[in-house]
Amino acid sequence: MHKTILSSNFSFPGQKSLYHGKVRDVYNIDDKYLLMVVSDRISAFDVVLPRGIPFKGQVLNQIAAKFLDATADIVPNWKIATPDPSVTVGHICKPYPVEFIVRAYLTGSSWRTYKAGERHICGIPLPDGMKEHQKFPVPLITPTTKAERGHHDQDISREEIISKELIPEDEYALIEKYSMELFLRAYEIALERGLILVDTKYEFGKKDGKIFLIDEINTPDSSRYFYSEGYRELFDKGLPQKQLSKEFVREWLMDNGFSGQKGQNVPAMTDDFVNEISERYIELYEKITGEKFIKTDISDVTERIGTNCRNFLITL
Distance of CA 191 to the CA centre of its chain: 19
Percent of the chain with pLDDT over 90: 83
Phi and psi at 205, nearest 5°, equal -145, 180
| pLDDT mean over 27-44 | 96
| pLDDT mean over 73-94 | 98
pLDDT of 243? 85
Nearest-angstrom CA–CA distance, 48 and 14 = 29
The CATH number of the domain covering residues in 95-244: 3.30.470.20
Contact by Cβ (8 Å): 68, 132:
no
Res 8 pLDDT > 90: yes
Band (pLDDT 50/70/90 cuts) for residue 153 is confident
Strand pairing partners for 48? 43
Which residues, other chains included, contact 102 with Cβ-Cβ below 8 Å and sequence gap of 6+? 139, 140, 141, 142, 179, 180, 182, 183, 199, 200, 201, 202
pLDDT of 2? 59
Tens of pLDDT, residues 286-313: 999 999 999 999 888 899 999 999 999 9
Contact by Cβ (8 Å): 216, 251:
no
Contact by Cβ (8 Å): 41, 92:
no
Query: Over the chain, what is the mean pLDDT?
Result: 93
Res 1 pLDDT > 60: no
What stretch(es) of the chain map to CATH 3.30.200.20? 15-94+250-313
What stretch(es) of the chain map to CATH 3.30.470.20? 95-244
Would you list the DSSP string of 44-84?
Answer: ETTEE-SS--TTHHHHHHHHHHHHHHHTTTTS-BSEEEEEE
pLDDT of 236? 97
Does CATH number 3.60.15.10 belong to domain 15-94+250-313? no
pLDDT of 24? 94
Tens of pLDDT, residues 202-223: 999 999 999 999 999 999 888 9
Tens of pLDDT, residues 109-151: 899 899 999 999 999 999 999 999 999 999 999 999 976 654 5
Band (pLDDT 50/70/90 cuts) for residue 246 is confident
Would you list the DSSP string of 97-109?
Answer: SEEEEEEEES-TH
Nearest-angstrom CA–CA distance, 65 and 63 = 5
pLDDT of 3? 83
Q: Closest Cα partner for 61 from 245, 280, 281?
A: 281
pLDDT of 148? 60
Contact by Cβ (8 Å): 101, 179:
no
Tens of pLDDT, residues 154-192: 899 999 999 999 999 999 999 999 999 999 999 999 999
pLDDT of 46? 82
Band (pLDDT 50/70/90 cuts) for residue 251 is confident
Res 152 pLDDT > 50: yes
Taking the model in full, what pTM does it have?
A: 0.90
